[in-house]
Structures are given as structure tokens and as C-alpha cells.
Amino acid sequence: MTHDNGRKSGSCKEVSGLQEDTAGGTASKSTSAELGSAAVESDLFASGTGRSSGSLDRLLDMFEAADGEYLSGEEISRRIGVSRTAVWKQIRRLKDAGYVFDASPKLGYRLEASGSALDVRRILAGLTTSRFGRDLTVLPKIDSTQTEAEKKARNGAAEGTLVVAEEQTSGRGRQGRVWHSPPGRGVWMSTVLRPEGPLTAVPQLTLLAAVAVCRAIRGVSGVEAGIKWPNDLLANGRKLCGILLEAVVEDGRVRHCIMGIGIDANLEEGDYPEELQDKVTSLLRESGTEVDRSALIAAVMNEFEQLYMLYAQEGFEPIRLLWESLSVTLGREIVVRDVRGERRGTAHGLGEQGELLMKTEDGALIPVYSGDIEIYPG
């Protein structure tokens, strides 16, 4: 995922637009590096199962049932059946995951806030899917969820496997740029896809993903996000979400894809580098209210699976119409910058493959398959 700050990271080639020449599939073959640093996975989360460890489940249940009242370390130790030291360690892990506690030497511990933390149980409870998000890994910190999901895919992970992190230290985006991913503020996640069909159909999935995320954001936060071609989400002209699709291809067929999504959920102005503050926004900044990130993750998975099934049954046409209905690009004067240079025109619609159709001054429709799009005036 990337905020366009000019910095580069990684060596992956992504499918972000539609490649005009995809013969042999080499233009979109992923060259993902192996995980650069070990993913430190807290015992709070059970990798690959989507279930938190039993004692921590019970600990959270106890604090939620206490409804803001203090629980002594002795009582917790007795009820869970672990030592006082183990209780302290588990509370520290919960703090690392974003839960906020008040500690009193005389009274014990009190849970002050849990809504801001990613919660495996709330994510799973919010899913209506049959596949997507069911195999869930939540990590406190990692270099990139893309890299971890790619590693899982190469080891045979099923379609719909989801990797989420509280923080990314080297989040990736389009054209190797860096996605700013501070801890506890956003939705940083990657999903394994195993689509059937040729490489040329893969870019349509980026448009499908944009529709799914846009619908989820609107439903959960109320923010009227819109799509800028092909798959950036904007609010009031500023970017709040990016989507990256990376494909691994063998013999001209897609072996698997990794769909990365970065949503600036609860970032405040001071959370961004100075050079980004006027270019980006967040759901919190737009709505004035923190969004439940666990609910948002579940909503994205629900929307995506529904549209993914629709796409498998009816093809791209219904996705195209949905994308156009949510677009902030169509009807606007745009500047296209690609290998051909800079071109201007009016965004007219999507073609059958998902390419952007730009109308020139002489009325001709020119397909745009890739490149950077700027809505003019910006």
C-alpha cells in the first residue's frame, strides 16, 4: 500500500492497471522477496486459525463482563488458573494489541478501552462469508502483510486466507512506493486469491476490490468514499485507501494473487509525515468518529466475497456498472501520465476489460490501460 511520497520499497511488480501487452505473463509476474524480518506473533493470536489463545479469551471475557470495574490480579489468577506473573504478561500482550488498562496497586486492573484494538473474535463474529477471512492471522507488527500472505500462498494457503497487522514497518504499494502504516490506527491487510482464468482478467479484480472496499467503508463509517481509477479511494479529493494486487503466473496462467488493502481508518493529522498531510485523509478525519477496525475488516471481506461470487457467475459487467456508480473520476477532466508521456481528456467510462476510456477534444475514445491518473484541477 502506498501514500505517494516518492519513497521506494521492495521489488514486486503489481497488477494495478491493465497491461496492454501481457503475452507470456511476464509483465505481471511477482518477484516477492522472502520475509525480511521475523514476524513476531503474540500469543494473543493463533496463527492461521483466527482464534485467540484460551486463557486470553477467558481474560477478555472477564474484563468485558466486569463492565469497567477493577479485577484484582489474585482473582484473575484464581479464575483462569495461571500465576500472577502470567496474568501480568497476558495483560501486557493485550496492551500491545491496543487494549487500554488502568492499573491500581490496591484494586487491580480495569479495562478502559477495547474498541480501538483489532479483535480476532469480533472480526470472526462479523463475517458472513464462507471462505474469505475465515483463515485469519492477526499480527501486532510485521514488515508487510503482502510478504506474509505471499509466503502463506506459496505454502498452499487456501483462497480467502487473510493476514492483518496492527503495524507495518515496510508496507508496500503501487510502483514500489511505501505505505505509511503506524500502529493501531489503520487497516493493513492482505488476502490470498486463487482466481480461475487468464492473466488478462486479473486487473478486473482490482476494480472489484475497490468496489468492495468502498461499499464497506460507506456502510461502516458513513464516509462517502469514491473510487479514483483504477482502485484508489478518495474522500473530499484526498486519498484514504489504496489497493495493490500482485499476481504469480506460471505458463500464462495465474497461480495465485495477493490482494493488499490499506485503509487510513483512525489516523489523525499528526500521524502523517508533513509531506502527506495535505494529500491524504482518514475515516476519523472525515467523520469525526473513530471507526471499529475489526468491524471494517469483516465488512470488507463480506463485500468482497459477495462480489467475487457475482463476478464468477456473471462476469465483469455488473462489477463495471457498480464501479462506475461509485467513481469520482468519470466526467472529470484528467491527466494521464504513462510511458507515452502526458495526455489530457475527459474520463468517459470503463471498457469491457476494465480499461479507462478517455474522451479527447476531438471526441475520440482512447483506452487507458495503466499509468498515473490525476483529476484536473487536482
What local confidence, expressed as pLDDT, does residue 171 receive? 57
How many folded domains does the chain comprise?
3
24, 252 contact by CB (below 8 A): yes
Residues 6+ apart with CB under 8 A from 252: 24, 25, 198, 199
Q: Which residue, 230, 249, 292, is CA-closest to 18? A: 230
Range in 23-27, 262-266, 318-322 with the lowest mean pLDDT: 23-27
Nearest-angstrom CA–CA distance, 158 and 240: 29
User: 345 in a domain, yes or no?
Assistant: yes
Q: Is the pLDDT of residue 246 over 80?
A: yes
Same domain, 93 and 209: no
pLDDT 10s digits, 341-374: 899 999 999 999 999 999 998 999 999 998 889 9
Same domain, 242 and 281: yes
β-pairing verdict for 253-263 and 187-193: antiparallel
What local confidence, expressed as pLDDT, does residue 55 receive? 67
Nearest-angstrom CA–CA distance, 261 and 272: 18
SS3 185: coil
Q: Which residue, 346, 325, 308, 252, is CA-closest to 26? A: 252
DSSP β-bridge partners for residue 350? 356
In the sheet where 333-338 sits, what is the strand order? 365-368, 356-359, 341-350, 333-338, 372-375
Higher pLDDT, 213 or 166: 213
Q: Is the pLDDT of residue 49 over 60?
A: no
Amino acid letter, residue 215: R
Q: Which residues are part of a known binding site for biotin?
A: 168, 172-174, 239
231-248 average pLDDT score:
94
Q: Which residues are part of a known binding site?
A: 168, 172-174, 239
Nearest-angstrom CA–CA distance, 146 and 144: 5
Amino acid letter, residue 297: I
272, 280 contact by CB (below 8 A): yes
Same domain, 281 and 353: no
CATH of the domain at 104: 1.10.10.10
Same domain, 342 and 211: no
What local confidence, expressed as pLDDT, does residue 228 receive? 96
Q: Is the pLDDT of residue 102 over 50?
A: yes
pLDDT 10s digits, 146-186: 999 999 999 999 999 999 999 888 655 554 555 567 788 89
Length of the chain: 378
Nearest-angstrom CA–CA distance, 29 and 35: 18
H-state helical runs in the chain: 54-66, 73-80, 84-96, 120-126, 145-154, 202-221, 283-287, 293-314, 317-326
User: 243 in a domain, yes or no?
Assistant: yes
Domain enclosing residue 344, as ranges:
333-375
Q: How confident is the model at residue 191 (pLDDT cuts 50, 70, 90)?
A: very high
In the chain, beta strands by DSSP E:
100-104, 108-113, 136-139, 162-165, 171-172, 178-179, 187-193, 226-228, 232-235, 238-250, 253-263, 333-338, 341-350, 356-359, 365-368, 372-375
pLDDT 10s digits, 58-100: 888 888 888 889 999 999 989 988 898 988 888 887 776 667 7
Same domain, 209 and 107: no
Nearest-angstrom CA–CA distance, 66 and 44: 20
CATH of the domain at 353: 2.30.30.100
Tell me what the pLDDT averaged over the chain comes to. 82
Same domain, 195 and 102: no
- pTM here? 0.76
